[in-house]
Amino acid sequence: MTAPGGDTQHGIRRRNLARVLRTVAAEGPLSRPAVAARIGLTRAGVAPLVDELLRAGLLVETGRAATGGRGRPGGELAVSDRGPAGLGAEIGVDHLAVCAVDLRGRVRARVAAEAANRHSAPGPVLRRLSALLAEVTDAIGAEGLRPAGLAVAVPGLVARGTTTVVHAPNLGWRAADLAPGLAGATVPRGGCPALPLTVENEANLGALAELRLGGGDGQPGPPPDFVHVSAEIGIGAAVVVDGQLLRGARGFAGELGHVPVHPDGPACGCGGRGCLEQYAGEEAVLRAGGLAPGRAAAAHPGPGARIGLLARRAADGDTAVVRALHEAGTALGIALAGAVNLLDPRAVVLGGALAGLAPWILPSLERELALRTAVAADSGRAGGPAVAVSRLGADGPLLGAAHAALQTVLDDPLHAGTPAHSPRNGTR
């Protein structure tokens, strides 16, 4: 990754500052010699970089660490729990959410609200979101944190390098530039410049969250090549190749929900017919399970409520719901088989709402992959890659957004603040 400034002396220094900060953020606390060893610089070369980051308040010394040699022991370094924070926001069909994470990756504040965003104009939605952003910004400000950037996850197509939602069928939005509606929310108090703003597809941000947070509890993170599938009302996917998002020429890669499963099937909101969403989307599964989507939404409002309803019905042995989830897994396996044959990923990761329904979806999904995948996976499983369930679940896009918003700091620690419109790492 090349930091701003290229290979000039100034650019190399900025790149090395970023390397030090990212290393300590990922692995700290670390001694100075350990940091030097991790990034391949001498101790003398690392010392002034560490001192700059300490003066900027991005690093702190947490104690003393023995060096194994003569002289005064060096201090252990950790990223500060004060200073910059990343703001992540999510616009869902029936909810809004905002959170803030610090450089240690900890969620420091979070709010969510039910919101009927379907077919609502962007203006009112963004005003409600701005109020939640102000609430979170005030909360972290009381703890000595300041927002360094804002990333917004949306269930739709976002034009590459812009803040414009080209089409979000389940919201009813077309050609909606979110920057003007969030302009006030991205100006911190005190007259500071506007924050860098990222607008990104929710599945892409969920995949970035898997890359950064998918391990834990003794479990390994995802491999560098995987397909991440997430769902709310619709179904989206993100493709990760060599640890980077495969975005496509216009930024629209990963629209798995609109891959035709049965070309002569029911009409879809995208304008096509027989799309995966018509068989495995939330409303399709509710209908197939004998539950009217409108009534279910009224009786069970809020993010994840209908998925929870389906999971409870299935766990209780409701045969109609179990059959509907089985059929949804079949449709999902058919759609994923094409992606697997084309891209040859090492794994498929089920995130978002699908994670909560995995016990009933996985058997038929894996069967279809086994039947339809041309090449066996490296794991030795016949007919397809391993299928994993995200431990982040429905939180993935929101957490991915907050971590993406920190990228300006991690990429250029002492000069963060240049506006950006997409996550600056992990993209193609």
User: What confidence tens digit (pLDDT) does each residue in 11-42 have?
Assistant: 888 899 999 999 998 887 999 999 999 999 88
* H or E element, residue 98: strand 95-102
Check residue 426 and give its pLDDT.
46
In whole angstroms, give the CA distance from residue 201 to residue 208: 11
Are 247 and 427 in contact, with CB atoms under 8 Å apart? yes
Which residues face 61 on adjacent strands?
Answer: 77
Q: What is the pLDDT of residues 169-218, one digit of tens each?
A: 889 999 999 999 998 776 666 556 678 899 999 999 999 999 888 766 66
Q: What is the pLDDT of residues 283-317, one digit of tens each?
A: 889 999 988 877 777 777 666 778 888 999 999 99
Q: What is the pLDDT of residues 230-243, one digit of tens each?
A: 877 788 899 999 98
Cα distances (Å, whole numbers) of residue 386 to 210, 226, 238, 292, 345:
15, 10, 16, 34, 9
Please determine, for residue 331, whether its predicted confidence score (pLDDT) is greater than 90.
yes
Mean pLDDT of 333-343: 91
Reported for 126-132, long-range contacts at CB under 8 A and 24+ positions apart, including other chains, are: 126/178, 126/181, 126/182, 126/185, 127/181, 128/96, 129/89, 129/91, 129/96, 129/98, 129/182, 129/185, 130/181, 130/182, 130/184, 130/185, 132/89, 132/96, 132/97, 132/98
- Other Cβ atoms less than 10 A from the Cβ of 315: the count is 12
In whole angstroms, give the CA distance from residue 124 to residue 137: 20
